[in-house]
Structure 1
Amino acid sequence: MCLVFVCDKDERVVGRQVAPGSCPYCGGVIQAMDIQSSWRLCFVPLSFNNKRKFYCSLCSRRLVVKY
């Protein structure tokens, strides 16, 4: 007997906006992106999660905000 679970993580960009400040590596403009992710099991969504990630628009690096 074989049992296979099909799990998938789907991420979509919901919105973009310009964040204050500049990139510490190249001095480019920082963009804040709102990303909605969902875990799916056999095409049935299990959970939704909204995150905000920061990227540089010039060098495309992901920036981490430390509080």
Structure 2
Amino acid sequence: MKLLYVCDEDEKELSRQDAPGACPRCGGKVEAVDCSHKWKFCFVPVCNMVKRRYVCTLCSKRLVILYS
């Protein structure tokens, strides 16, 4: 008996926008990137999520916002 586990994740960039602030590492400009994530299990769509990420344009570091 064989068990075949097929799972796939697709990531697609939707848009880029300028964000306020500067990178703490290099002082470069920050961009907000909206990404769509689609998870599939055996070619059946399971989940579709849209996330916003912040990225520095100079050093390409992914920035994390900490809420206090």
TM-score (norm 2): 0.93
- Give CA deviations for 1:25-67 in whole Å, capped at 9, x if unaligned: 1010001000110111122211111100000000000000111
Map 1:24-35 to 2 at 5 A: 24-35=24-35
Identity of aligned residues (%): 51
Q: CA deviation at 1:11?
A: 0.7
TM-score (norm 1): 0.94
Q: 2:2: which partner in 1? A: 2
Report the number of matched residues: 67
Runs of 4+ in 1 over 2 A off after TM superposition: none
Aligned CA RMSD, in angstroms, stands at: 0.8
Q: Which residue of 1 aligns with 2:57?
A: 57
Gaps of 5+ in 2: none
SS at match of 1:3: coil
